[in-house]
Structure 1
Amino acid sequence: MSASPSVRLLTATFDELPARTAYDVWRLRQQVFVVEQDCAYPDLDGRDLEDTTRHVVLLEDDGAGEVVIGTLRILDDGGWARVGRVVLAASARGRGLAGPMMYEAMAWCGEREVRLDAQTPLAAFYGGYGFEVSGPEFVEDGINHVPMSRAPRARP
């Protein structure tokens, strides 16, 4: 990761997340998706608890301790993986910190097909990780999205 040495990634199941970290993950998702983007939706959908779900959490040491500044989750949807709930705190945006989270997610997904629903303005960002638009644009919670997928990778 090219980020500052005060930034680190944690990849864990729900049960492996420290309680305070889990609380901060859900608080960040609420702050950005529900409050900032004004989307009232059921964020706590039960999928965070699944044994196969992985949470990638970006932590930064602010001098008083580690603070959650970004997160995403990887779901097992049977024949493919699904990346979702990708979010950065306002203070972390524009610093290149979403990249390390995505590299971690792609490494964890391995050769599997990976799908996600990208906010339309972010399609080019996800394209940098091998994703291609795989269907028509749609509106979810008042925000334009496009479905995207990354084809399965052949083993070397």
Structure 2
Amino acid sequence: MLTYSIKEFNQLSLKQLYDVLQLRSEVFVVEQNCVYQDLDGKDSKALHVFGYDEDELVAYTRLFKPGHYFTEASIGRVVVKANYRKFGYGYDVMNTSIDAVKHYYKTNDIRISAQCYLKQFYSNLNFKIEGEEYLEDGIPHVNMLYRG
């Protein structure tokens, strides 16, 4: 069982910031072999969801209120450390994030830009595909919408 916390950018400790950047780089840059600009200037506007196993960050997302990324609230940078995926922590961190959006932003509408190979994962969480596939940083994506 992971311990979850939710923080604004200015509440992050240096260790938490380092852990986030390290995990995102480990998965999105190295594992997915994708060179892209992770430091996009949006972290300061997001709520950050951390899933720790003891002192190791193993799951993370960032949340945006409606109008900051999409018209709807959004969840992005969804990541789980590779050797922890078998425990279903992807569903845990997403359910925690969905609940956080509802609590902090008082909305049930959440839009994501999902990597296409994860369409079934997000469909299992009641996200519905909207529109056609598109390339983002060289990886096929699709918009998906949750209306809780």
TM-score (normalizing by structure 2): 0.89
- Measured against aligned partners, the alpha-carbon deviations of 1:104-139 in whole angstroms (never above 9, x if no partner) come to 111122233110011112111111222100110112
Counterparts of 1:93 and 1:143 in 2: how far apart (Å)?
20
Q: Secondary structure at the match of 2:61?
A: strand
Please give the residue correspondences for 1:113-124 in structure 2 after superposition, counting only pairs within 5 Å.
113-124=109-120
Q: Which residue of 1 aligns with 2:39?
A: 44
Quote how far apart the aligned CAs of 1:77 are.
Answer: 3.8
| Residue 102 (1) aligns with residue 97 (2) | no
| Residue 55 (1) aligns with residue 44 (2) | no
Q: Which residue of 1 aligns with 2:133?
A: 137
Q: Which residue of 2 aligns with 1:112?
A: 108
Quote how far apart the aligned CAs of 1:40 are.
Answer: 1.2
TM-score (normalizing by structure 1): 0.84
What is the percent sequence identity of the aligned residues? 35
Work out which of the residue numbers 71, 75, 91 in structure 1 matches 2:60.
71
| Number of aligned residue pairs | 141
| Residue 16 (1) aligns with residue 11 (2) | yes
Q: Which runs of 4+ in 1 moved over 2 A?
A: none
| Counterpart contact for 1:47–1:75, Cα < 8 Å | no
What RMSD over aligned residues (CA atoms) do the two structures have, in Å?
A: 1.3
Quote how far apart the aligned CAs of 1:76 are.
Answer: 2.0
Counterparts of 1:43 and 1:121 in 2: how far apart (Å)?
20
Quote how far apart the aligned CAs of 1:92 are.
Answer: 1.0
| Counterpart contact for 1:70–1:89, Cα < 8 Å | yes
Counterparts of 1:35 and 1:76 in 2: how far apart (Å)?
29
Counterparts of 1:147 and 1:30 in 2: how far apart (Å)?
23
Q: Secondary structure at the match of 2:86?
A: coil
Q: 5+ residue gaps in structure 1?
A: none
| Residue 83 (1) aligns with residue 75 (2) | yes
Q: Secondary structure at the match of 2:132?
A: coil
Quote how far apart the aligned CAs of 1:91 are.
Answer: 1.6
| Counterpart contact for 1:70–1:88, Cα < 8 Å | yes
- More helix as a share of residues: 2
